[in-house]
Structure 1
Amino acid sequence: MTCTLFSWLILLLALTTPSQGHHFGPKSRLRYSRFLDPSNVMFLCWDFDLEAEVITFELQVRTAGWVGLGVTNRYTNVGGDLVVGGVLPDGNVYFSDQHLVDEDTLKEDGSQDAELQGLMEDAFYTTMRFSRPFRSCDPHDQDITSDTVRVLAAYGQDDTLKLDREHIFVKSIFLLQIVHPDDLDVPEDTIIHDLEITDFLIPEDDTTYACTFLPLPIVSKKHHIYKFEPKLAHRNETMVHHILVYACGNASTLPTGISDCYGADPAFSLCSQVVVGWAVGGTSYQFPDDVGISIGTPMDPQWIRLEIHYSNFHNLPAQGIYDSSGIRMYYSPRLRRYDMGVLQLGFFTFPIHFIPPGTQSFMSYGLCKTEKFEEMNGTPVPDIQVYGYLLHTHLAGRALQAVQYRNGSQLRTICRDGSYDFSLQETRDLPARVEIKPGDELLVECQYQTLDRDSLTFGGPSTINEMCLIFLFYYPRNNISSCMGYPDIIYVAHELGEEASDSSMEGMMAMNNVEWTPENIKKAEKACKEAQQTVIIKTIDEVVENTTGWIPDIIPTPRGPCLESTGGKVEPHDKTPAGFRAKPLSLSGASTASPGSLPLATLLFTQGTLSLFLATLQARD
């Protein structure tokens, strides 16, 4: 009883205390955090409630002026929303839900959908804490989704609400991260093992794929790898684009040394079953507590191929630039319930994959048919349980999704990112595990934009080429390493009015003869989708089987309802999205009342609670 009363007392005293140096509501722990600027002036913490669809932010900035936080899009800050607030010299606070009408001007929203939970200023920082719905009914508010989100942050050096471009920052963040590393088990008997390239002289070429073959740790009994992270050599971070670890079949004959992965010696491209992968923008990743990578049994791989992709677009001189990057693995004898695997899906990386120049949007598709998985695996394949994923395109990529079909009908979207950022490629957890049964079809769709290009973009390994890949992390492990598709390029050439024989090479070359008008771009996209797909399935032992199929339609997932504002009304000229529901309480349940405007009833209630609290204490003495 005393604890309950004390909690109420603290809340009410917070509401009646001057705002400077105090918060209006209880301080719940926010699990996620990130610096938003290169100088580490702006520090963001956040957390969310998936069921209530409410997110809470706390922004701390080294300034005595105003601070602002919101969401914008890829191309411009105009139209981005920005929640702003600050503390005046007299201790009063100001707080408002606004948007950018141009690069230099803010305007207050007619609907105030952000709920203040605290504003404070001390000798060093201004800190603002507020909550907002994932999707409000105000068209000026950008949605918070499971896509990559461009977080917009700004601040002023005083309390004048004026935008200064030197104090505006945009950072891509995956806000709705499902699993926090602190929630996962860390075995006490952890062992660390590094898989790394050694003193590799980076060529001056803009793209280099360096490969070497390394043994996995030698253990006397089964262990599980439960975590991995990049190990990037100091000052070479900007040149390392991605690092992949491929498992090799134990019957493989492997070369020694370091060489071009896809060059003159085909032996350096052996081993195609991805074990773990890291790409630019990613950090460490820890598997869920019930899965791990098995090592130490006769069925487990003993060797891996380490692939490091260097992007040296500034053509830095090779002299003195040596690299020893790689992947650090954490493993333990404490076993987990399942052995995990990785299934690579998408468009087969080859010049048959083409993207026209000057297009706002062009879709590519890669089909996977699982009907041959059991035959190729050699033993029955249990249902695949997918728990995580990694998306991968190059610079022209704008969106990706993997869609699952069963018995000819669309079942679900497994994963997607409608706002993909090449600079933020990370392994992500699914909100719920997805089951894939033998016979299911899996379709990867990639969207590209090439407005800045005047020639065709082809599929290939260079960063200026393109890829369309999704890696699914699943359990229990089987021997299938990849399942990717590509369209009949001869059909596509004929649909575009180009002559081509039965040679795929002629079909690819014919694309260079096309005049890429908007009409031909749409015709090519339609032909690529309607063409028969060849599906290439590969195992860890490099066994390859082909099959064919057709691209099914994708039924878009409808948007959920918006949340009705409790802090204003939608402007008359704004269109309210169809479907809305009442706004729930904020994540922490805090009030936003201003200290100088509390009604008399609240003050009397405060006094009554204090009297009751004191009387209770006296009764316990």
Structure 2
Amino acid sequence: MMRRFFIFLCTLHLGTLVSSSSDPKGPIVWTRDLTLNDKFTVRFNNEDEDKLVMEISAPTTGYVAIGFSPNGGMRGSDIVMAWVDGEGKAHIKDLHAVGNSMPIEDDVSNYELISAEETQHGTTVRFSRPWNTCDDKHDFEITEDTVRLIWATSPEDPQIFTDGSFQSNYHGPDFRGGRSVFLKVDTHLQKFPDDDDHSDPHVKHWDVQMNRVIVPDDSDTTYYCKIVKSPHVYDVKHQIIGFRTLIEPTNKDWVHHINFFECNVPQSDGGPEAVFEKYLDHPGGHCYQKNMPPEWGQYCMTVPFVWVAGAEGLLLPEEGGIPLGEHNNGTTYFMLEIHYNNEKKIQFEDSSGVRIFVTDKPRPNDIGAVTIHTRFSHGFHLLPPGYNGFKNVAFCTSECTQKAFPPEGVTVTHATLHAHLTARKIKIRHIRNGQELEPLAQDDHYDFNYQQSRIVSPARKLYPGDIILTECEFDTTGRRKITYGGTSTKDEMCQGYVYIYPRVQLALCKTQYDFDNFFNALGIREVEGEVLERLQLPYKPKPNQMYDPGDDAYVLKNNSNGPQYIFDLLDVAEPSQYRRTSVADFVENLPWQRNDNELTKTVWKKWWEGKYDTFCTGHHFKRIPLEDYSVSYPKFEPYVKPIDQKCGERRGRKNQLGSSGSSSAFTLSIISLPFLLVVTKMCLL
């Protein structure tokens, strides 16, 4: 009998294992398994519609803690701390932080301990918590937004006093960290094919990388481009089904985004092979400058996928893939573009790129991407300084989708949100017949350093006549000067990408403020400059115009011999007292922040309520003509998120329980720590 008892104790893996009655039966299939660094790992399951199940591990015999933060800092974060004490008793604490100090214990705990284990190698704790605890004062509701996970550990257990209060040691600067993730929304449902031990034999990969590019130290922004050809273009149809990044570890802080452009050349211009085959041996070079072959910018325009800082990659659903080869309604030649954000202005070498997964077993549908963004290159994407809450918007109009979508509609599978450093909130809104539906994607805690594509679940139908809006909200309170739209991370953008099937002719919806309304709101009645004709401003489609104008921010920004922004090239003509003053100087000297940002609010209202020029653009910038290209902001009934009915039930239960403190503890029977040490020695014999 005693022998069986010792065998049982040995199965505890030479550690202190504590389990609660809520320990689920059977193994958990983890949605994500993250290694935050060599000191802390996290894995979680998000399949339960009511709660999150999470497990955290660290090489410590003290406490482990993880927090859910809206902004990456302690203030406002919802924290859970757990440990196993010297008597084999597990403790879990529900805390909230009001600053960079010891967190405060909640009156009622919303965390349920599932299991806790402490060994000589570290501590592992598994727990669950509701997505919405209904505690608006102290807790963080986990939604589809980006969540900043903050973590900390200590080599020592907290002290618990006789009155039930406790005191934890400061974790120190080396035992803490953070990372942005999606917890409630999925990024992809399968493993990447090169991670799967039982991968599909029909799936191959194609690595596209720069070749020891030298990023210079004279600029904080460098765009580098290179032409490549798909090796998977045969008689059998091939499709791209996903990609992951190949970022050199030493350069991960400098690679900001990767665009993969399709290069489409009409037969009237010679076809793609005649134009691009000769560039396959070209080493590549700085994009959008005079030394870049003009064909690259002229024909490489449609983006089948994009990677942005912090993302892991993308796997498309089983319903479709991106076709390869012109004979399959796809593309053979591509341009790889990498944006290096070199804030420290150091010279370095890079060979980063992407691994593209290709299948020779075609899926039922061809998938395409539609981008909805503001036309950022012409100064119209202008953010006044010192203001929190300024918005900008872009949309696919009802007329555009009416002309571009088939009668049976298209299906949205994924969405990506993109902006730069001052963006705080982004969403892709969906309007049908004057009623807004649930957003296709929304992030009220947008993080520039985590721009992962997300699954739209359930997949959403878009029909002809629907309106799609990308709306961005910015915070420039930390800036003293105007922020313009542009290509540098210090500039701004407002972009939404939706992946749809079947692939249609629509590739891009762009929006800019009406030219006259934009300048009149600033107090400028007339501007002049040779660049206006070049950029087709004020915009008015020419008769039989085949192509929409592109964004010339790349040229203006990266031309080392020229100014950075269009407003440097424009002068005020009226009012006459400002004649010959550059528009850039004029707007920079306006009293934006005077009288509680009165001018900012006035200008923004005039822009928002005025006309917008809209562009409905197909692949290769081919224009989809609109009868009404100058439109107002659409009128619709806004979507209202349903009230969580469970919160009333939970609050009622909490009131019945009272506020007896939030500490939960589970004990491993009556086994003392000295006795466990004896057992450990016997197990090792």
TM class, shorter-length: 0.7 to 0.9
Aligned to 2:465, what secondary structure does the other structure show?
coil
Q: Is 1:48 the equivalent of 2:46?
A: yes
1:235 equivalent in structure 2: 250
Match for 2:590: what amino acid? V
**Mapping for residues 102-141 of structure 1, pairs under 5 Å:** 102-138=99-135, 139-141=137-139
Counterpart contact for 2:117–2:124, Cα < 8 Å: yes
Counterpart contact for 2:207–2:353, Cα < 8 Å: yes
Matched residues in 1 for 2:169 and 2:470: separation? Answer: 44
Matched residues in 1 for 2:64 and 2:667: separation? Answer: 20
Match for 1:32: what amino acid? T
Task: For residues 76-103 of structure 1, give each alpha carbon's deviation from its aligned partner in whole angstroms, at most 9, with x where no partner exists.
Answer: 3123221112111111122221112332
Q: Which moved more, 1:482-491 or 1:246-255?
A: 246-255
Matched residues in 2 for 1:49 and 1:553: separation? Answer: 37
1:542 equivalent in structure 2: 621
Classify 1:354/1:292 alpha carbon distance in 2 versus 1 (closer, same or farther; 3 Å).
same
Match for 1:49: what amino acid? E
2:332 equivalent in structure 1: 302
Counterpart contact for 1:490–1:501, Cα < 8 Å: no
Matched residues in 2 for 1:104 and 1:513: separation? Answer: 41
Counterpart contact for 1:19–1:119, Cα < 8 Å: no
Task: For residues 468-521 of structure 1, give each alpha carbon's deviation from its aligned partner in whole angstroms, at most 9, with x where no partner exists.
Answer: 111111100112211111112431332343443596656864533421121122
TM-score, length basis structure 2: 0.76
Classify 1:34/1:360 alpha carbon distance in 2 versus 1 (closer, same or farther; 3 Å).
farther
Aligned to 2:620, what secondary structure does the other structure show?
coil
Matched residues in 2 for 1:80 and 1:372: separation? Answer: 43
Match for 1:278: what amino acid? W
TM-score, length basis structure 1: 0.83
Shift of 1:70: 2.3
Q: Is 1:557 the equivalent of 2:640?
A: yes
Task: For residues 528-565 of structure 1, give each alpha carbon's deviation from its aligned partner in whole angstroms, at most 9, with x where no partner exists.
Answer: 21121111122213213462222236725336425416
**Mapping for residues 369-518 of structure 1, pairs under 5 Å:** 369-372=397-400, 380=406, 383-501=409-527, 505=570, 509=584, 510-517=586-593, 518=597
Aligned to 2:208, what secondary structure does the other structure show?
strand
**Mapping for residues 244-263 of structure 1, pairs under 5 Å:** 244-251=259-266, 254=275, 256=279, 257=282, 258-263=284-289
1:193 equivalent in structure 2: 206
Matched residues in 2 for 1:19 and 1:192: separation? Answer: 43
Classify 1:282/1:595 alpha carbon distance in 2 versus 1 (closer, same or farther; 3 Å).
same
Matched residues in 2 for 1:21 and 1:295: separation? Answer: 53
Match for 2:209: what amino acid? E
Matched residues in 2 for 1:226 and 1:596: separation? Answer: 49
1:358 equivalent in structure 2: 386
Aligned to 1:281, what secondary structure does the other structure show?
coil
**Mapping for residues 170-209 of structure 1, pairs under 5 Å:** 170-178=178-186, 179-182=188-191, 186-204=199-217, 205-209=219-223
| Equivalent residue for 1:326, pick from 347, 353, 367 | 353
Identical pairs, percent = 25
Matched residues in 2 for 1:230 and 1:101: separation? Answer: 38
Matched residues in 2 for 1:50 and 1:431: separation? Answer: 15
Q: Is 1:98 the equivalent of 2:95?
A: yes
Structure 2: segments with no counterpart, 5+ residues: 1-8, 159-167, 529-536, 539-569, 573-582, 671-685
Shift of 1:128: 1.2
Shift of 1:250: 3.7
| Equivalent residue for 1:85, pick from 82, 92, 111 | 82
Q: Which moved more, 1:456-465 or 1:266-275?
A: 266-275
Aligned to 1:102, what secondary structure does the other structure show?
coil
Structure 1: segments with no counterpart, 5+ residues: 1-12, 574-591, 599-621
Residues paired across the two proteins, number: 559
Aligned to 1:526, what secondary structure does the other structure show?
helix
Counterpart contact for 1:363–1:445, Cα < 8 Å: yes
Match for 1:533: what amino acid? Y
Q: CA RMSD in A?
A: 3.0
Counterpart contact for 1:367–1:533, Cα < 8 Å: no
Task: For residues 297-336 of structure 1, give each alpha carbon's deviation from its aligned partner in whole angstroms, at most 9, with x where no partner exists.
Answer: 512222112211111111113xxx3333222211121121
1:587 equivalent in structure 2: none
1:31 equivalent in structure 2: 30
Counterpart contact for 1:19–1:595, Cα < 8 Å: no
Task: For residues 388-446 of structure 1, give each alpha carbon's deviation from its aligned partner in whole angstroms, at most 9, with x where no partner exists.
Answer: 01111111111110111123332331111111111111121111111111221111100
Classify 1:382/1:240 alpha carbon distance in 2 versus 1 (closer, same or farther; 3 Å).
farther
